[in-house]
Structure 1
Amino acid sequence: MSQTQIVIASVLKPLKDPRLYYRFAISMRETNKYLINIIGFSIKKETDEKNIRFHSIFSKNRNDFSRAVLGLRLIKILIQVKPKLVIITTFELLPAALLGKLFFRYNLVYDIRENYVLNLEQNKTLRGLNKSLSKLLVRFIECCSNPFIEHYFFAEKVYQKEFPRIKNYTVLQNKYFGQIQDVKPVKLNEKRKLRFLISGTLTEVYGIIEGIKWFQTILRHFPQASLTILGHITMIDYGEKLRRICLDQKSIHLQISENPLPYSDILKGYQETDIVLLPYHQIPSISPKIPSKLYESIALGKPCLFQKNTLWHSICSEYPAGIGIDFTDTNHAQEKLEGFLDTEFFVKKPGEEILWKSDETLFLPIIEQLAYRD
């Protein structure tokens, strides 16, 4: 029996992105029904795997002018593959996907990982006229595409409120894709050489600088502590700012890149840390969402300190897996950390509720329905 061709397409997400590869593609591959083509960012050629083919569509700086022709590159791949189902993960590929749909008659899924309009409003990456025009463009593309999209995936529950006009959706959160580790109760009160970790995308609103300043305060009382910052920067100027702040800071290990890091590097960072820091700014584009790093921390048995957030607290308190603090309140940093160290974490072992496996049962039937529907 021949396998049905499926395309998963992004621009800035790496070919082995946690959501696209580890969650979506691996789940589909295990059925042995599909040949999955992942299209995305890569600066090196990825080796094809069983039932999975990799196609690099972009390999340069995010502001490179060649980004303007990525739609044509996508169409070229669609001509070669002739898929039955296409999953698009960014608004900028929707026009090309709609054009391809006209010729190849495939079903189209839009995986909404971000509320782009809200992000543009809150995340301080653009200002003035550029911000207004960008928001208008995103709204125009997403609204015009809506009638031609068979189904939506929402990466966050809050998108049900933020996109009220969309009815044909399934919520698929960014839960941990693997198996739960042998998580045992842990208490760090006797450990003085504490290892902290900030990982993933590094932007201003993710509170990286607040996390650094909080750690510098902690160093006065825990001089053997260390902080690793591991991830990729979306703004070159912000990366330079981080380098200046961390200059001559022997206790801070800065491992940043202008390109997305392999997910295996992030997982290795977890293995080598004691405490995960999540100092996100509590703004409307962030606070109602659940960071994938929260699920990862719980599944890997790593206690976390997060910026106070009632939703995140409700998730962590069950085990418990972490504590909310105010990273900007450096006057009470030592007191809060001492309380954290006196807490026993993971008294209750996490279950499938924090694993992608719990959502996979929703995902696969939709894929099968759309992949074989004319």
Structure 2
Amino acid sequence: MSIAADIAPIDIAAPRIDLGAPAGARVVVAMSGGVDSSVAAALCKLSGYDVVGVTLQLYDHGAAVRKKGACCAGQDIHDARRVAERLAIPHYVLDYEDRFSQAVMEDFADTYLAGATPIPCVRCNERVKFKDLLETARDLGGAAMATGHYIRRVEGPAGPELRRAADPARDQSYFLFSTTREQLEFLRFPLGDLPKSEVRAIAGALGLVVADKPDSQDICFVPEGGYASVVERLRPGAGEPGDIVDLDGNVLGRHPGIIHYTVGQRRGLGLATGEPLYVVRLDAARRRVVVGPREALLVSRIRLKDVSWIGDGALEDAARRGDPVAVKVRSTRPPAPARLVWEDGRAAVDLDAPEEGVAPGQACVFYSPEDGHDRVLGGGWIAATGRSALP
């Protein structure tokens, strides 16, 4: 039975999408069990593609079933299967627990131990979904792989470009900055032009069981935001105590372990100094939490590592010219004006105006300086911060 006969009539006009593949071509859809990836699969099917759904089991079933807002395990796998049945498409569940543990969870723990703040969702996209799963999609005969991310893929003069989602409140470009040109050739994002409200409306009209399912919250393998407990489980003995010191190295107090702190944090320091103090940096080697006044958080030079570039030309050329860009140093902040810099054989960024709370381990994502900062040019991992050498 065709999907149209299976789920018609519907009371809204679900958009038909053009994925740039021949009619009837196979499209492998990464289905996490949430409403977004489910609607992505439905739109591909309604648009005449041969859809195959794939769900990754990333960690223990039992733990995930008990945690609300998780993804890629337990109840979510069951939901993805039910959606696939509703859409009459094949559905496969792949056991990626070992890969996810090594590529994402172990990196998460080691980054915290080094005094940095990790973003495991980027690592998951970079090392699992857009690497291993993408190769699996090719093995399944896919002409493309689609996901439920809110981001757009646009054909430009030199090939496909990555652009921010039409709905700025849902844009996920910050978490996809490390997408390569080769991956972008194969990836598709059916939801990039849609607001979340329309995605839920489509799911409801199609009778999908996930239409009203809440969005996943926090990091999938971290229960209730308890980062430190996960690190201690992965690295027993990680929570070693140490000193809280001021910018001059004077001891102000003690802490239970640097894994409990992040740059920019004010609450929970347990200090009575008469003035607000913030975590300015974490000295993992000496187990020190360094605190200071708010102005000490301001930085204007961001040194980067493992930079990905999908802008025009070569990154080194752009950096040596000091090309203007807009950058996001946190997912919730708007892009800010900056310039690329070439320093000691690698790319860095000089912000036009200093920003606070820029933490090593986080991402610095580049956007086009014009056109409303629409195009994603790449980005890198923050290795260190400081003051700009420029006037």
Same fold (TM over 0.5): no
**TM-score when scaled to structure 2?**
0.28
**TM-score when scaled to structure 1?**
0.29
Structure with the higher helix share, 1 or 2:
1
**Larger gyration radius, structure 1 or structure 2:** 2
Structure with the higher strand share, 1 or 2:
2
